Amino acid sequence: MSHREVIKLLFPLELMGVSDDDIALEGRVLDDAEAEARELLREMFPDRSVRCLTDWERVYALTPAADAPLQSRRDNVVRKLRERGGLSRKYFIALAAAMGYTITIDELQPFMAGWSRAGDPLYEEEVRFIWRVKVSGQALYYLRAGLSTAGERLLWWPSVTALEDLFNNLKPAHTYIIFDYS
């Protein structure tokens, strides 16, 4: 039932002429408002958002690549929304896995008498604040009906700087990360 019909039911008499035209106009306005409200209900979830996706990215301080497909942009917002934070290796490994990367993390240790053995690397004391992330695997996004938009590439992958930027934003401030892609 349209809003025009509902408004007509509110009147005790059947209205004709100009009044009927006014009711039709009011009904169209209310129908449009309802359609917009339904659209906003869809847009309030970032995994289905299209029109409000830039607002989601602004709120979470995300800057997508210029050619990033809709799926990737939605995934980044959802990932940021679900992010709880942490400082453990397990947390950073899970974060990279969510982005489609397989990583290992090595915490470098200085050479210490009584602790280190022959053959261990000779690092200085400051190496205690450096960790090495060995990256393998690559996140790929394929064009998919219902998740992509017209004009997007059939295959897209984020630049490796996306992982580096994320890790550098979340790492403890006094540490330094070396990324190894070999």
Report the candidate in 82, 76, 72 with the shortest Cα–Cα distance to residue 144: 72
Cα torsion at 65, 71, 77, 78 (round to 10°)?
A: -150
Q: Tens-of-pLDDT digits for all 182 residues of the chain? A: 888 888 887 777 776 766 778 888 888 999 999 999 998 888 888 888 888 899 999 998 888 888 888 988 998 888 888 777 778 889 999 888 888 888 999 887 777 777 777 877 766 666 778 888 988 877 677 888 888 888 887 877 767 677 888 888 888 888 889 888 76
Domain boundaries, given as residue ranges, for the chain: 3-43, 85-180
Residue type, 163: L
Residues 132, 108 contacting (CB under 8 angstroms): yes
Confidence (pLDDT) at 105: 92
> Nearest-5° angle of CA 11, CA 16, CA 21?
90
